[in-house]
Amino acid sequence: MTHDTTSGALADGPALLALMQLSDTALPIGRHAHALGLERLLRDGRVPDERRLRQIVVSALMQGGARCDGAAASLAHQALTSGDEARLLAIDARLDCLKLTDAAQAASRRCGRRLAVLAPSLSRDAVLADYAGAIATGRSPGHLAVISAATSAACGVSRPAAVLMELRGIATMILSAAVRLDILPAAASQAVLAGFAPEILAASRIALATALDEMECSAAAVIETAAMRHARDHGRLFAT
């Protein structure tokens, strides 16, 4: 007698599918239209090889994302799971204060607002709908890390997975820009991305342990400065 184990094996299928959808580059929110200052760094001759590119990504993860967007994602997931819209608004406001450059703030808000439009169609969660409504009416900034993690939670994605998705997204955004800027080939970028697993996991552990009042703005000064200078460049390939 044989037993069909398919149903049990696919118990996490809906959450996994949601995770795939939210992390897919085909999601029309514009995340990969940004380069986090990489284009300006390239023009300055500060990305001469793959080693330097790796340093930029590690800095963006460990000195930038871990205690900022990563922590916001972790906290937003908890808030949605608890049904606490006020907490979501507080996290969004806190992250808004920590985006010190116009470029970083605008990029995060723009992508987040686009996802907020889609979020109610991905889950019928009432708190998520109310939060998306607050973003639509301008009552909340709508930063990507917050709405993405809230949507993930509403779709049954675990908190660690939502944080991993956010921080992996930082790495993929930079590497996607690196491919289009001809810094490295597309095939090579996949091997490079796989090599970032230890750093993404380390940054995620920091994010998961960070409280709201412990969140910090990015300390990746070179990247932040390059992003500000990029905003004033003419003939940009990437958005600001």
pLDDT band at 240 (very low <50, low <70, confident <90, very high): very low
- Cα 224 to Cα 4, 40, 178, 206, 218: the distances in Å are 53, 11, 17, 21, 8
Q: Do 88 and 126 meet the contact criterion of CB atoms below 8 Å apart? A: no
CB 172 within 8 A of CB 22: no
**Are the CB atoms for 85 and 153 separated by under 8 Å?**
no
Please give the average per-residue pLDDT across 120-137, as a whole number: 97
Residue 59, phi then psi, degrees to nearest 5: -65, -45
DSSP assignment string, 186-224:
HHHHHHHHHHTHHHHHHHHHHHHT--GGG------HHHH
- Taking only the tens place, the pLDDT of each residue in 65-78 is 999 999 999 999 99
pLDDT reported for residue 6: 59
DSSP 100: -
Mean pLDDT over 80-103 rounds to: 95
Cβ neighbourhood burial of 33 (10 Å; 0-12, 13-18, 19+):
middle
Given a cut of 60, whether residue 51 has pLDDT beyond it is: yes
pLDDT digits (tens, 9 = 90+) for 11-25: 789 999 999 999 998
Which carries the bigger pLDDT value, residue 33 or residue 207? 207
User: Does residue 4 surpass a pLDDT of 60?
Assistant: no
Lowest mean pLDDT among 74-83, 102-111, 207-216, 217-226: 217-226
